[in-house]
Amino acid sequence: MAVHREVRTLPGSGAKLRIFLAALFLAALPLRIFAEDPSPFGRKTLSVLAIGGDNFAPGRHGYAETLLPTIDTGRFLSRRLEVGLDIHPWIGIRQPVHDNGDGGYDSVTAFALDVYGRWYPAPFSWVWRPYLELAEGPLYAPRRVPHDGSRFNFLTQVGAGFTVPIARDDPWCFVVGYRIVHISNAGTYYRNPSWNFHGVVLGFRRFVGGDSSTR
């Protein structure tokens, strides 16, 4: 008599690390909300961004493209460190119908919520304000991403860019940047294919409560 044993896939070390980092960001969020030495940039930010691009190379999964309209809201925990939420209410992914990249293309939608950290390294007197950023969080799609992957994934983003005021003393700034966008399930599913996209970042960011001389 054959005995069938159910095999369950446990989250791998990559998933555990991602969950830990997300929890760490969330735990740190309220620590310095009322810092004695606030950032000259302000206390809060609001950004409206568009992130779009294609994958690094066709690879075995073929060619794919993505577009991520993004709203993020953050708070400065120190003079240079901002932490907040990256909200992706709709993500569009154009990917091959089949795992090997053949058979044409299909469009898949998804949504995601990332926790991010953003670091501003330049002198506060600079008008052009460069930044480095890291974001991590869960992503869900009604259909598998990539085609032989899973519906639940993690969205990892690493990038850099700069802001420049729209006008003198204006709290709104133009944002121009670049992100590496990685989508995979981190071993939470028995298959773990991934997409890795170049992402061009364009949008606007508002610094709330800052010193106008630093804008």
Instruction: Render pLDDT for 82-114 as a digit per residue (tens, 0 to 9).
Output: 999 999 999 999 999 887 767 789 999 999 999
Side-chain-side CA neighbours of 184 within 13 Å: the count stands at 16
Looking at the domain that runs over 33-214, which CATH code has it been given? 2.40.160.20
How many C-beta atoms surround the C-beta of residue 36 within 10 A? 5
DSSP state of 210: -
Query: At 44, is the pLDDT very low, low, confident or very high (cuts 50, 70, 90)?
Result: very high
CB 41 within 8 A of CB 209: no
Residue 58 DSSP code: -
> Which residue bears the tokens 């044993």?
5
Higher confidence at residue 169 or residue 107? 107
Distance, in Å, from the CA atom of 55 to the CA atom of 67, rounded to the nearest integer, reads: 12
| pLDDT over threshold 80, residue 12 | no
The domain segmentation of the chain, as residue ranges, is 33-214
- Pairwise pLDDT comparison (148 vs 7), residue with the higher score: 148
pLDDT for 24 = 59
